[in-house]
Structure 1
């Protein structure tokens, strides 16, 4: 593995081939035990954006909670035992809005601290993860854990390379951070929505991201 992006792609492909998932996300875990640098699979961008803005604090599968269980594979049901019913109900409301019926987290550790993870989400068409599927995830986790232990460089943030922006692209940045829609950006800058889309496509290319959520994360 030569970069976190390549490692993320490998993990997402391997785990979703072994155990079907409607949506998935690969992420690093920073020193504060927060998930960062998300890499999405299955086009969950809209759900992910809502998660980051409104529901992340209710998630029982956050790395800090999962670390307390000291497991490589953590089911939603097990994680829910670590927080109050009120918080669980709030998070369940979020999942139901997107037809998600189950979530399983796969964590990888170094020196007993989680350093990266994968979220696997199931919609109603797949049903909940069964015991056989959880065992399969556990086997994959154990194999990849060996690679994580012996290749720490693969998890380090990529070396920062300054990105050169045009004047108009720079004007988009604060609006994107605020979560403004294309139409709102167009009105604020006095340009057409199609022009906003063109600038966004250029920003995706410059920052080497695939969607708006990843771009905002990089910004």
Structure 2
């Protein structure tokens, strides 16, 4: 029996294995914790390319992108991720109390955390896809949730929904460790492509940006 290396079944299996390897590499890159921003930005870069007519190499491209996006990805994580985490802690704290004012304060804190989470995802994707100064990247990341509310909701629901499923069904953590993060980034990339194309066609109040030279 001959196996056609160009057959759809073989190509599908090869792609699946590459996504599994990419997922493992991403988790390994996140282990120092401080590298989470750079690793997530690199993951988004290769999945954005793959979502754009399957361009680029998933594994080799991730290693290159991790090095290139290191400082900007980390800076975006610190600027947007740390305040988001603080707002989550504050929201949980206030909601644990039993007064109306604390419930309002907790709800507002969690809404703010959700907005910053969306801005963080946009910021890491902007680092991955565009060459721009850090200040302009952060400004655009904070403006995009207002400019694209519908797509932003979908973008935020992907990681939040996955986290909720993992909490309710702990057995699904196996999927997260094998292909969950890489496949989730690919789904996010499909949403992000729509946002970036629309914003480039109608830049409005956003800072001007240019794609990476390899895109």
Q: TM-score, normalised by structure 1?
A: 0.30
Decide which structure has greater helix share.
Answer: 2
Decide which structure has greater strand share.
Answer: 1
Higher relative contact order, structure no. (Cα contacts within 8 Å, ≥ 6 residues apart): 2
